[in-house]
Chain A
Amino acid sequence: MIGRSIRSRMALASVLPVLLVVLTMVSIFWQGRVQDLEESHRQRVDLLAHQTALFSAYGLFSGNTTSLQSVVQEMQREPGVQSVRIFDASGLAVASSGRSASQKLAELSDAGYAASQWQRNIDVRVEKILPAVLPIEDLFSVSELPKTLSSAELGSAVIEVSRQALEARKRDALLTAMWVGAAGMLLGGLLAFRLGDWVVGPLVRVSKMVNRIGQGDFSIAAPVADNDPLQELQNSLNQMATRLAWGRDELERQVETVTHELRLKKEQAESATLAKSRFLAAASHDLRQPSHALGMFVARLGQLPMDAQMRQLVDHLEISVQAMQDLLDGLLDLSRLDSGNVPVRMSAVDLNELLDSVRGALETTAEAKGLRLRVRPTALWALSDPLLLQRMLANLVINAIRYTETGTVLVACRRQGNGLRIEVWDSGIGIPSEHHEDVFKEFYQLANRAGDRNFGLGLGLNIVQRSAHLLGHRITLRSQPGHGTRFSILLDTAMQAPPAAAHSLSSGLGDVSGMRILLIEDNLDAREAVQGLLQSWGCTVQVAANQVEALVQLESAGAADVILSDYHLGACETGIACIAALRAQAGEPIPACLMSGETHADFLQEVQAAHLPLLHKPVRPAKLRSLLRHMRA
């Protein structure tokens, strides 16, 4: 395509000048030839007329009409001569030959006659016949000579010559000029095309080579001929291609090396992350059991009668346990999010109810710090996972309470475009703009570099961001140091769901006292702690360490209202299998709930497949109670 374009332009640039030169030369040649022919013809006619006059001079002088007639006949024989006439001094025709339109000298001498004959392609010449003058130089001739008749003209000769031969020769000249022009143009065109090939050929070759180089093919080193007009360019291109090829190979080697190094680093990083996850999972799991038991014991302890000093001590103990369990919850959540197997159940969520639940859960915490937690009522519904959204919002509010010393934490909800946003305002210390991104990183704490565990582990906002990513929501942050902070969750609105379908977060109504609960827990401390707590709530608790004991309990005491089972029961038993066996034994789907500190994906999928509610250890007494109430309802 490029070659064709260059070739056509080159051809045009070569042929046009040739065409102009040839046309100009042909035009000049033809015009010159025509002028020559015209001049030659004119001279010939003049010469014929002059000769006629010259030859007739003596005949007229001597009155010899015979000689005059022979002169005109002789002239008549000349090619193209139409007529010859000789008139004497008085205008009388003395000899004539050929045909002419007029016989009279006066008419033949008239300019109009000459013009009319010109139209008929005939030239008319009238030549005066004068006596031949012989210069005589002697003393006599010096004497003045009176003018006499003898020196006057002898007569006139009129000759008419056809221009047809001239016109034919002009046509021949034109034809010749056209032939010469055509041949010139043909030859010039061929030369121009040939020249174009000489010029364009190397250009096209170089152009193609550049194209191939552009496409990454450096393996072409076109041979360079000695007479190549682009020899230097071709050599440079070959060198360039070679160097590019070397460069590419070198680059590929470097990329390969760097990629290898990167891969190693990535593997190391992944390995480190895996190790961290494993550590987190293991640590949280291993801490979970004692923490779980501790929580249960402290809850049980709190229900015992004691003096005020003891009560204060137990209250502090509860707060510390609570904080420790929150930290463990955070680690557990992070561990779950790391595993990527957090089930998402999108549904219409009543935001008013959700905000109320958050207030209910955290109002006491805020008040304990001297803050006011305000939740603005709303009638909006959102499309989200209610549990995850509640966790996100709770984290944001907890975060706000942590970093606010005085004032208010406000939770509100408002429409924004087609969606809506849930905002958490605080009047806290604020976040400098350079830390707006950092605050969402794991274990990042803005004002807790000293490691005050009251500020948590710095996982809350990271969990919020990961959960938002999982749900497809967006988190925004607006804050200035000293002017508080506003976190927003942007999410889609949802139609209000019918009351039955709506996921209710409210705890079931009613008490748990009197419920018969089969508690299956292989860890003795945990089992006793939960048993004590349940019993303190008025529940009848049957305990079993494994599936066999549970089946015995079923046999002996009959089916319980709820089976509360740990997941890991000994070496190779699981709570799921145990519950399934109990249900099979009882012949009815006894409501059951699993408790576990496991977070890995296989476990979660297994629990999900068994359609069993799961309480993550350390189980909060309130949460356990809430679940029991719910199951009873």
Chain B
Amino acid sequence: MASLRWCLRALVLVGLGGLLGPAWALQVCVVSSDKGAAFQEAADSFVQEAVRSGIARQDIAVLSLAEYLDGDPRTADSRLLVSLGTDALRQLMLHNAKQVLIAGLIPRIAFERVLQESNRKNPSNVAALYLDQPFGRQLDALRLAMPTARRIGVLWGPESVTLQPLLTAALQSRAMEWSEGQVSDNQPLIGALRAALHEADVLLAVADGNVFNPSTVSNILLASYRAKTPVMGFSPAYVKAGALLSVHSTATQAGVQLASMASRFLQTNTLPGNQYPLDFSLSGNDYVAHSLGISLDIKALSDRLRKLEKQEKRP
């Protein structure tokens, strides 16, 4: 049935092409994992930014994953595919081994896992904009919010532990200490959590669903609270759940950065490397801050963090 529908669409397009003139191909095709508000927001901001950067609107197609899987012919001829979300990336990797692909709205460890699972022979034509924030930005934000914090606790999962060197480097560059625990199969989480919280001033949550998920977050937050250790989350949802602070990028911010990456590729035909988000937002939980005796001014903090990052970028 799908192939029949595809054939019909192809016939229609061929017919239209015959009437309108020579064949025409898309520049960018955006495939979204989900029709949720965040994905729509990201897609909209992508389109706006891309159009703003000179790409014609008609050269941009925004498809849902379902539409893509139905065999929309436009995807086959587009120069660049943009995936939004882990599922979209996995499906595009599965069905398009050769087209250039930029992955967005995907945690770093998820991107690496999908890339590992895929059979793409040339990973160089795939680039990603990570959803999670660089450790340095998170640590800077922490230091700005809690200048006295010196020791960071980290709870690693089986996948996120691969990021350990990145964090270690960031900590060391900031002369900070750390305590860590690794969650492993068949072992209660509490052991690793205790290890991570050991004398830690802040517990840094890493975006690893094996460790931080709806089933564990409550107990982790409760245990941290009892240990009088604030938690730094990686999304506003964690702040809402009880984390003190989070640095994150919004879907709009991600869409803008993705459009920028796409524009560059279309102009230079060179794919940029994997990137952390350039723009970010901060959110904080005033109740938790008040409970822990911490003064938290998100607006000022955000400004200071941006300022700090600008300073660091200067030579």
* Residues on A facing B (Cβ under 8 Å): 57-58, 61-63, 130-146, 148-151
A137-B237 in contact (CB<8A):
yes
Could you tell me the distance between the alpha carbons of A593 and B48 in the complex, rounded to whole angstroms? Answer: 179
Interface pair A145/B235, CB less than 8 Å apart: no
Residues of A within 8 A of B110 (CB): 143
Which residues of A are found within 8 Å of B107, using beta-carbon distances? 140, 143
B92 adjacent to chain A (CB < 8 Å): no
A3 to chain B, nearest CB (A): 83
With A134-B218, A150-B210, A150-B216 known as contacts, the answer to whether A140 contacts B131 (CB < 8 A) is yes
A556-B251 Cα distance, complex, nearest whole Å? 194
B86 and A148 contact, CB distance less than 8 A = no
Q: Whole-angstrom distance between the alpha carbons of A132 and B218 in the complex?
A: 6
Could you pull out 29 A-B pairs where Cβ atoms are within 8 angstroms?
A58-B222, A61-B189, A63-B190, A131-B218, A133-B215, A133-B218, A134-B218, A134-B221, A135-B214, A136-B235, A136-B238, A136-B241, A139-B38, A139-B235, A140-B207, A140-B209, A141-B209, A143-B86, A144-B86, A146-B209, A148-B157, A148-B158, A149-B185, A149-B186, A149-B187, A149-B188, A149-B189, A150-B189, A150-B213
Chain B residues in 8 Å Cβ range of A142: 33-34, 36, 85-86, 105
Bound-state Cα–Cα, A142 to B83, Å: 14
A139:B188 contact, CB within 8 angstroms: no
Instruction: Choose from A61, A136, A145 the contact partner of B237 (Cβ within 8 Å).
Output: A136
Q: Are A151 and B86 in contact (CB under 8 A)?
A: no
Which A residue sits closest to B242, measured CB to CB? A134
The answer on a CB contact under 8 Å between B234 and A140 is yes
Interface string of B236-261 (1 = CB under 8 A from A): 11100100000010010000000000
**B167 contacts across to A, CB distance below 8 A:** none
The reply to whether A61 and B190 form a contact with Cβ atoms under 8 Å apart is yes
Contacts of A136 in B (CB 8 A): 213-214, 217, 235, 237-238, 241
On chain A, the residues within 8 Å of B234 by CB distance are 140
Of all chain B residues, the one with the shortest Cβ separation from A89 is B188
With both chains docked as a complex, state the minimum distance between the C-beta of B7 and any C-beta of chain A, in angstroms. Answer: 33
Whole-angstrom distance between the alpha carbons of A587 and B181 in the complex? Answer: 184
**Contact pick for A58, options B158, B219, B236, CB 8 Å:** B219
Residues of A with C-beta under 8 A to B223: 58, 61-62
Known: A139-B251, A145-B209. A131 touches B219 (CB 8 A): yes
CA–CA, A144 to B91, complex, Å?
14
Please state if A141 and B214 are interface contacts (CB–CB under 8 Å). yes
8 A Cβ contacts from B181-209 to A? 183, 185-190, 207, 209
> CA A139 – CA B221 in complex, angstroms?
20
**Docked pose: A141 CA to B36 CA in angstroms:** 13
Q: Is B288 an interface residue (CB 8 A)?
A: no
Band of interface residues on B: 35 or more
Cα distance, A151 to B209, chains bound together (Å): 11
Residues of chain B within 8 A of A138, CB atoms compared: 235-238, 248
Interface residues in B131-188 by Cβ distance below 8 A to A read 131-132, 157-158, 183, 185-188
B211 at the interface (CB under 8 A from A): yes
Query: What separation, in Å, do the CA atoms of A138 and B38 have in the docked complex?
Result: 9
Tell me, yes or no, whether B82 is within 8 Å of chain A by CB.
no
Bound Cα distance from A135 to B242, whole angstroms:
12
Q: Which residues of B contact A139 (CB under 8 A)?
A: 38, 85, 105, 131, 235, 251
A151 and B131 in contact, given A140-B234, A144-B86 (Cβ under 8 angstroms): no
Could you tell me if A146 and B210 are in contact, using CB atoms closer than 8 angstroms? yes
Q: Judging by beta carbons under 8 Å apart, are B34 and A134 in contact?
A: no
Cβ 8 A contact of B215, one of A63, A131, A143: A131
Per-residue contact bits, chain B 82-96, to A (CB 8 Å; 1 contact, 0 not): 000111000000000
Cβ contacts under 8 Å, B236 to chain A:
138
By a CB distance below 8 angstroms, the chain B residues around A144 are 86-87, 209
Q: How far is the CA of A143 from the CA of B109 in the complex (A)?
A: 10
Task: Known A-B contacts: A138-B236, A149-B186. Give 4 more (CB < 8 A).
Answer: A132-B215, A135-B214, A148-B210, A149-B185
Q: Closest 10 interchain pairs by CB?
A: A145-B209, A138-B235, A138-B237, A151-B215, A132-B218, A61-B219, A134-B218, A143-B86, A131-B215, A136-B237
Residue of A with least CB distance to B209:
A145
Chain B's closest residue to A140 (CB) is B207
A151–B237 contact, CB under 8 A?
A: no
Query: Most B CB atoms within 10 A — which of A136, A141, A146, A150?
Result: A150
CA distance A132 to B213 in the complex (A): 11
Nearest A residue to B104, CB-CB: A139
Tell me the nearest residue of chain B to A135, going by C-beta. B214
Q: Using Cβ atoms and an 8 Å threshold, which residues of chain A touch B189?
A: 61, 149-150
Contacts of A62 in B (CB 8 A): 190, 219, 223
- Chain B residue contacts of A133, Cβ below 8 A: 214-215, 218
CA–CA, A137 to B217, complex, Å?
12
Interface centre among B33, B107, B187, B209 (most CB of A within 10 A): B209
